[in-house]
Structure 1
Amino acid sequence: MLNDAASGRGLRTLILGGIRSGKSAFAEELAGRAGVVRYVATAAVDPGDADFTDRVAAHRVRRPGQWTVVEGDPVAALADPVRMTLVDDIGTWLTGRIDARAAWEAPRGTVAADTDALVAAVTGYQQGLVLVSPEVGLGVVPATRSGRLFADEIGELNQRLARVCDEVYLVVAGVATRIKSADVAGPADVSAPADEKVSGAAVSAATAPSGTDPVATGLTAVALDSAAVPTDSDSPDASVGDETVHDAPIFATIPALDAHIRAEAEARQLRLTKPAGALGRLEVLGNWVAACQGVCPPKQFERARVVIFAGDHGVARHGVSAYPSAVTAQMVANFLAGGAAVNVLARLADATVRVVDIAVDGETDPTVSGYKIRRSSGSIDREDALTEGQVNAALAAGRAIADEEIDGGADLLIAGDMGIGNTTPATVLIASLTDTEPVLAVGRGTGVDDAGWMRKTAAVRDAMWRARPHLKDPIALLRVAAGADLAAAAGYLAQAAARRTPVILDGVVITAAALLAEMLAPGAKDWWIPGHRSTEPAHQMALTKLGLQPLLDLDMRLGEGSGALTALPILRAAVAALSEMATFGEAGVSTAETPSEVVS
């Protein structure tokens, strides 16, 4: 729905629905496929109306942080074109215009100059435009003169807007049906076919790995063939195929943890046979799991799942690591054989391991390469890590992988990493987003010597310079300064939160991806707990930025998910304590408030 190929302008889309129909959420998803959006909020908040103020606040929270918000008149906003504009909503704007003209008791047509101006502004707008408006037939309109006036005015205005818009959707109970489609669908059109019903969270896919449902996984349209796309001179064989990904995947609004259940868990902790707070942070962890699961007492994890995102990085060719890139593919084989540290720790913690080749610079087993984006990401100190299509495909792959695991029964997820040179882009992302000098953020990674550390620091410095213009745009930042494996991990972490599934974060690489996931899906961090703090200095910087406290500090720096797996038994202990301990009443043990009777 981005552009009309015949006219060269952006498509105009009108979304209609009743109160609480899900029309705004659907509009945000649709507009958000264009990337950064200008959101024109037409509501004027009345501080005396607490309910309406809360509704406006809820809308603000779910908007991506990189969107631009304009509060006021859409006619004035549309005079300044940007790539994508979302106006929400027309009904509130019309009410404001009737108020401004004191026209509630006036004849119909008193606000004609205003509605004419809006229709003209929409007709003349050449960029992408999404309009949200109430369908008056689906709402409750008071049978008063004012109510009839509003119904007549909004009904006529909606008809005029529908005539000048390329496509119109009707949203009922969160399901959008396209009732008017554009005559010409541009090459970036990823909207549903006419009369097809789509959920607000669905993103279409032209191609998905065997055995997956493109709509369920959220993959965007991808077309692959055997021809390699042009790449930089350092990476002549980097691309797996000539891919076209139309839009970045859109992540659903992140739900809040269940505050009511958390309060129940806190109250239950006080009834367990122990002094209040005696189990320290275990109590906080147990309460967190209960809030994630929405049940108290919480259930023990039945299917903890580790997904290792494997990928190489072009910067490794320039002496930033103690090991050659060939080790990545070798370690993927080791994971499959069950011989790596992650396998050993997973068996001990009652978890299972999956490895996915996202960008390994070599051939891997076909069972792990279904989501492969390219062979090695670019050398970020001198070139972009990915193309626009590749970063979108990587994000979509991570989202799809999370969906597969959760749909397969996973109730706790862990993200692991494997890739020679991957701490370099991780450090670039963290240092850039925390405004930290490279010399303070760069660690030893796989154990480089002083000369290697100096080369790594120089590479981080140069990549940070290239990343600087993109600090407010997480997708551009992943494209320029990260890599396919980090982008996929970011998509995985964001989608896990959207699907209400807790995650244990691992080390510096995964936590760097988490920073970007939080930008893509604000509020996702509430669903994560850091397993440990690694020896990489950038790791603590990222944890501080996210406001998260690690469970362990054991001087670990392996990656793979090893730190998260080492912490998993602690999380299991927190769940067991909250769910399996007896209460004072059950055990017949006196509480501090009701001591046993003293017999003289």
Structure 2
Amino acid sequence: MSVDGWNTVLVLGGTRSGKSEFAESLVGDAATVRYVATSANADPEDAEWAARLAAHRERRPGSWTTDETADDPRRLADVIAAAGPNETLLVDDLGGWVTVLLDPAHQPADDVATIAELAAAVRDSEARIVLVSPEVGLSLVPTTPLGRAFTDALGAANRAVADACDAVVLVVAGQPAWLKPAAATRPASVPAQAGPAPAARPTNQVTLARTSELEAPLPDVLTPTLPATPGDTNGTAWAAPTMALPMVATGLVIQPGMELPMPDEYAGPQAGDRLATLDVPGAGLGVLERVVGFAAATQGTPTPTPWTTVRVLLLHGDHQGGAAAGTVAGESARRARQARAGRGALARLAAESGASLQVVDTPSSAPMEHEPALHHAAVESSLRYGWRLAEEAADAGVQLLVLGACGAGTEAAAAAVLAATAGAEPPAVLGRVVTASGEIDDAAWMTRCAAVRDALHRTRRSPRDAKDVLAELGGGDIAVATGVLLGATARRVPVLLDGPVGLAAGMISRDLAGQARHWCLLADHGGHPAVRLAADVLGLTPLLDLRLDLGEGANALTALPLLRSVLALAAALPVHPRLGGGDEDEPDFTEPEPAGPGPTTSEPDFTEPEPAGPGPTTSEPDFTEPEPAGPGPTTTEPDFTEPEPARPEPTTTGPDFTEPEPAGPGPTTTEAAADPSGWRAG
């Protein structure tokens, strides 16, 4: 069974029940799909049947391939048995297959054995398989022998295949009812039915709506740890997944004009005022003061603390067509597997930062130059899925989300979103294509530009609201990222953006909830033109200009220790002494004292070096003027005193400054003339 709950599924339904559309939506996230057509070619005179087959063909994306088995019904089991573990098959349908099986041209035939071979092939296959079949057992018993034979054979085939499949779903009037496994374990990242998005509710509040569609389990959250260094026997291996996230049975109505919370408008300015009072040796924190203001506003306190619980969300989803020109096939999937296994740059940096890591598979996006990148129903489910990722992180105590992505064609998709929302020219926001060997591939860059140009031309008359842009141009990864930003905003969790996908999601989210951009922080633009433009439109000034290119998410984790250090320093530094701060246990400044004995005042403000000879013993002298060489006047507050001889004696009680004394003798008291010897009488 695959990671999202099933590997093989049988979709049952009556005529025009929507079973085929639902089955197609189940494989909508696959990069390529092999469509196995079982029905015989249409009778040239049967225009209605030919129109049905043509409608089926038109719904198939250009990346799908078609395999016909009508000439030999036994070949269906061979096709399924030969499919590899990385393939996705859509068999539509078993009713047509049974019709061909019972055709006199294929008789005599052992129908029971052929059905058993098909069921065994489905049970043993490692491929991802969706089979469609009509449910005719609810109608009247046919009145003709051929009709009864068809009903019996199809019923036997449905029972055998249902027993071999991991999951079975019955579609009634477009509504899926999961029969196997139970509904509680049914994955819900799959839309209920392809079709128009549900109507928005007439309110600008975020509302919860109960739905029969249960949501899929969220990806496991990994907690990477540093690997043991060579020769270190005490090191620990990479940690296994720490938790499986819960499922919920509610759906969100995400629509423009939602009222989400804003950061604290007072805490940010108060934090800036507090920084100006700190005892900093230099001029301050420079541009990193914005980190303190951002953290203060999002934490709601003028003294923010460093983010201790951080989670990295790595969104993995490829874009088909010209958007992915110049990329190596399977490279993004390898990066995602590497991160899940706790290897690679992103996992290493997450371990260094003590951050958890969650790798999220998003729906694959169709070639936007030919068709919508994502169906509207998939856009709705992707937005809700991203919202749930943010909600689960908030419930787990995460204080900061780092949003990254890996996928083929993400840069071109982001450029298309910017062109549609900000009027950018695609060549101006598409970065150069660099091959694995470090060479610049201009041909691939031109192919990407052409894909974006053709997509914009195809959608020139389409609406430019948020969900339409996601459906036509953005695709699955940008849709999930948009949901993450909205959900994080609703739960007051700040998001550290990194790369084109996150910034494109920021452009979309501002049309759904303008508050979302105020919860976003951009560490480094990475030299990417799309990131620079989107950041300028959103009002996000990059904190650094390091031009890091380690992959989305890894760039932000590289800057994270610096941001944490700034917050820790701002929280720990005291107020400057001149503004009332300082250490009460030690004086702020002390001059060195002379070698000889000196005055014994209790609280001097400043002490000058004293002469080598014995001196006065006054208790609190503040200032001593120099005295003349011979005996002089004995006033208590002289304006000026001539220099004294080598044995000085104080003559005043409250001077603020002491002048150097002469070498000769001077007076010894303030009440009488000094003894020529310079020593105190008695």
TM-score (norm 1): 0.55
Aligned twin of 1:581: 573
Matches within 5 A, 1:474-513: 474-513=466-505
Q: Deviations over 1:250-293 (max 9, x none)?
A: 78522222122223312321221026952112222112201111
Local SS of the residue matching 2:276? helix
- 1:514/1:438 CA distance change after superposition, 3 Å: same
- 1:551/1:276 CA distance change after superposition, 3 Å: same
Distance in 2, matches of 1:555 and 1:409, equals 31
Tell whether the 8 Å contact from 1:415 to 1:510 is kept in structure 2 after alignment. Answer: yes
- 1:383/1:358 CA distance change after superposition, 3 Å: same
Tell whether the 8 Å contact from 1:309 to 1:355 is kept in structure 2 after alignment. Answer: yes
Matches within 5 A, 1:385-534: 385-447=373-435, 449-470=441-462, 472-534=464-526
Distance in 1, matches of 2:455 and 2:247, equals 37
Query: What one-letter code is carried by the residue in structure 1 that aligns with 2:515?
Result: G
CA drift of 1:400 comes to 0.7
Aligned twin of 1:256: 262
Tell whether the 8 Å contact from 1:384 to 1:479 is kept in structure 2 after alignment. Answer: yes
Distance in 2, matches of 1:288 and 1:436, equals 28
Which of 300, 308, 315 aligns to 1:302? It is 308
Distance in 1, matches of 2:210 and 2:255, equals 9
Distance in 2, matches of 1:219 and 1:581, equals 46
Distance in 2, matches of 1:276 and 1:203, equals 55
CA drift of 1:308 comes to 0.7
Aligned twin of 1:268: 274
Determine whether 1:288 maps to 2:276: no
Determine whether 1:212 maps to 2:243: no
Local SS of the residue matching 2:371? coil
CA drift of 1:564 comes to 1.4
Which of 355, 365, 369 aligns to 2:359? It is 355
Q: Which has the higher contact order (CA 8 A, sep 6+)?
A: 1
Tell whether the 8 Å contact from 1:533 to 1:553 is kept in structure 2 after alignment. Answer: yes
Which of 325, 331, 343 aligns to 1:320? It is 325
CA drift of 1:462 comes to 1.1
Q: Deviations over 1:332-373 (max 9, x none)?
A: 1100111121112222223221101112xxxxxxxxxxxxxx
Distance in 1, matches of 2:273 and 2:355, equals 30
Tell whether the 8 Å contact from 1:399 to 1:491 is kept in structure 2 after alignment. Answer: yes
Q: Deviations over 1:214-258 (max 9, x none)?
A: 36xx634xxxxxxxxxxxxxxxxxxxxxxxxxx646785222221
Q: Deviations over 1:470-521 (max 9, x none)?
A: 5640100000001111100011012212211111110122111111112211
Determine whether 1:331 maps to 2:335: yes
Tell whether the 8 Å contact from 1:312 to 1:328 is kept in structure 2 after alignment. Answer: yes
Distance in 2, matches of 1:275 and 1:254, equals 40
- 1:446/1:208 CA distance change after superposition, 3 Å: farther
CA drift of 1:452 comes to 0.9
Tell whether the 8 Å contact from 1:504 to 1:528 is kept in structure 2 after alignment. Answer: yes
Q: Which runs of 5+ in 2 are unaligned?
A: 1-196, 218-244, 589-603, 607-655, 658-682
Tell whether the 8 Å contact from 1:252 to 1:498 is kept in structure 2 after alignment. Answer: no
Local SS of the residue matching 1:309? strand
Aligned twin of 1:539: 531
Query: What one-letter code is carried by the residue in structure 2 that aligns with 1:209?
Result: A
Q: Which runs of 5+ in 1 are unaligned?
A: 1-186, 192-198, 221-246, 360-375
- 1:512/1:567 CA distance change after superposition, 3 Å: same
Distance in 2, matches of 1:200 and 1:493, equals 14
Query: What one-letter code is carried by the residue in structure 2 that aligns with 1:320?
Result: A
Distance in 1, matches of 2:257 and 2:395, equals 17
Identity of aligned residues (%): 32
CA RMSD of superposed structures (Å): 2.9
Tell whether the 8 Å contact from 1:428 to 1:464 is kept in structure 2 after alignment. Answer: yes
Tell whether the 8 Å contact from 1:494 to 1:518 is kept in structure 2 after alignment. Answer: no
Q: Choose between structure 1 and 2: higher helix proportion.
A: 1
Query: What one-letter code is carried by the residue in structure 2 that aligns with 1:583?
Result: V
Aligned twin of 1:96: none
Tell whether the 8 Å contact from 1:204 to 1:219 is kept in structure 2 after alignment. Answer: yes
Distance in 2, matches of 1:307 and 1:251, equals 26
CA drift of 1:305 comes to 0.7
Tell whether the 8 Å contact from 2:492 to 2:519 is kept in structure 1 after alignment. Answer: yes
CA drift of 1:597 comes to 6.9
Aligned length: 358
Query: What one-letter code is carried by the residue in structure 1 that aligns with 2:287?
Result: R
- 1:482/1:189 CA distance change after superposition, 3 Å: closer
Local SS of the residue matching 2:496? strand
Tell whether the 8 Å contact from 2:326 to 2:441 is kept in structure 1 after alignment. Answer: no
Q: Considering only CA atoms, is the larger Rg found in Structure 1 or Structure 2?
A: 2
